Amino acid sequence: MQVTETLNEGLKRGYAITITGDELNAKVDEKLVEAQPEVEMKGFRKGKVPLALLKKQFGERMMGEAMQEAVDGAMNKHFEDSGDRPALQPDVKMTNEDWKPGDDVNVEMSYEALPAIPEVDLSGVELEKLVVKAEGEAVDEALANLAETATDYEAREEGAAAEDKDQVVIDFLGKVDGEAFDGGAGDDYPLVLGSNSFIPGFEEQLVGTKAGEEKDVNVTFPEEYQAEHLAGKEAVFTCTIKEVKAPKAAEINDELAKKFGAEDLDALKGQISERLEAEYAGAARAVMKRGLLDKLDDLVSFDLPPSLVEAEAKQIAHQLWHDENPEVEGHDHPEIETTEEHTKLAERRVRLGLLLAELGQKAEVEVTDAEMTQAIMQQARQYPGQERQFFEFIQQNQQMQQQLRAPLFEDKVIDHIAEQAKVEEKEVSKEDLQKAVEALDEE
């Protein structure tokens, strides 16, 4: 076997691989000898079929396998000897298409090598970590929001007309073309006007009604309504108003706290404070992470595999296009051209991705099975009732596992770098933190 370098420009590599006919024949014979003891053929005892007959019967198929194994072996040995790591799967093709048994096999292999990553002195990296305390005002605001979710309703005085945000208790019967339909009736239904829980246009027509009245509500089902036989149809709902109730805000006291599982109001405030500070810490970490990535981007410079940059730029352009065209769910759209801006962002992402991977590998950073299981379970919660199926799907899908593992690995590498850097805490207001988070989206 002979391997000859044909290209060495930047990160681009090219090699010509020649596997002699004798080598291939020897490999075929080796495979036939290995299989011979298990072969059964009419007229021969098991394991006693002559090698020449085996070669005539199975030689062509074995030749294909031997050829593939020889090429794979040559590639693996090359990467082991050279230390090169291909950025993407190498492009391998046979060049002598007129090949016949006994001829040498000529193969061309080309790829882009991953660059050597320079050493980075992380001890000189200075970071700012924003710290926000859960002030009494923020806790009170969160308490008020909780109280709003615990709103109760009390009957308005007799003869009072229903207002927006009121709750009306109704019996209703819906008809399309004069015929009642499944799911179109209900008794003693508590409907909050303005909640948008019924068909568009329904609730507004009940504003001004009074207990004891009957009201015909005329609506049109949306064109994209989930029940296809009703989509786009006009309907009339005959509603009997049984009660009209005004919202009554829940009092912020120990009773409210107990509704949310706390022992008393002070305990609930403590829980809210902890939750808020955890949210602030998560946001502050995102800001610090961006600052760290910016500094790393300034610290290192090395050649990037063009294929990785191009693939990343296309992915960025594709994602941004879908963000701007959310109505297009599939990929049946014109090809999206990448811009200089997409390429510049792609270069940053590829550079930082390669650097973080190198730093993580040197630091022996690993994502544990427990961490992966926790990440999968968090994702599975997005599919209520199908958690088990989702979990099994992830276990059988290596690509999905990698998509979940990658951000976990990156976060652990970021933590490792932050431990070596100089981190200065800076106490700021909630508003300042919010501005810093919003600035991340603008960049």
Q: Could you report the per-residue pLDDT of 70-114, keeping only the tens digit for each?
A: 888 889 999 999 999 999 999 999 888 888 878 888 999 999 999
For the cut 90, the answer to whether the pLDDT of residue 201 exceeds it is: yes
Least confident segment among 51-65, 102-116, 120-134, 424-438: 51-65
For the cut 80, the answer to whether the pLDDT of residue 48 exceeds it is: no
- pLDDT attached to residue 173: 96
Percent of the chain with pLDDT over 90: 58
Tell me the H-state helices in 339-429: 340-362, 369-380, 387-395, 398-420
For the cut 70, the answer to whether the pLDDT of residue 443 exceeds it is: no
For the cut 60, the answer to whether the pLDDT of residue 303 exceeds it is: yes
Regarding pTM above 0.75, the answer is: no
- pLDDT attached to residue 171: 97
Least confident segment among 45-59, 159-173, 383-397: 45-59
- In which band, very low, low, confident or very high, does the pLDDT at 442 lie, cut at 50, 70 and 90? low
- State the Cα–Cα distance between residues 316 and 325, nearest whole angstrom: 14
* Contact indicator for 66, 28 with CB cutoff of 8 Å: yes
215 — phi, psi (to 5°)?
A: -140, 130
- pLDDT attached to residue 51: 74
- Over residues 270-274, mean pLDDT: 93
pLDDT digits (tens, 9 = 90+) for 309-362: 999 999 999 988 888 888 877 777 788 899 999 999 999 999 999 999 999 999
* Contact indicator for 355, 300 with CB cutoff of 8 Å: yes
Half-sphere exposure of 180 (CA within 13 A, CB side): 8
- State the Cα–Cα distance between residues 13 and 32, nearest whole angstrom: 36
For the cut 90, the answer to whether the pLDDT of residue 150 exceeds it is: no
The CA–CA distances, whole Å, from 193 to 163, 165, 343 equal 8, 5, 50
pLDDT digits (tens, 9 = 90+) for 2-18: 889 999 999 999 999 99
> What angle separates helix 306-324 from helix 340-362, to the nearest 10 degrees?
120
- Over residues 14-30, mean pLDDT: 87
- In which band, very low, low, confident or very high, does the pLDDT at 23 lie, cut at 50, 70 and 90? confident
- In which band, very low, low, confident or very high, does the pLDDT at 388 lie, cut at 50, 70 and 90? confident
- Over residues 292-316, mean pLDDT: 92
- Over residues 174-191, mean pLDDT: 94
- pLDDT attached to residue 41: 78
CA angle, 340 then 346 then 351, to 5° = 130
Query: Quick one: DSSP state of residue 199?
Result: S
- pLDDT attached to residue 333: 78
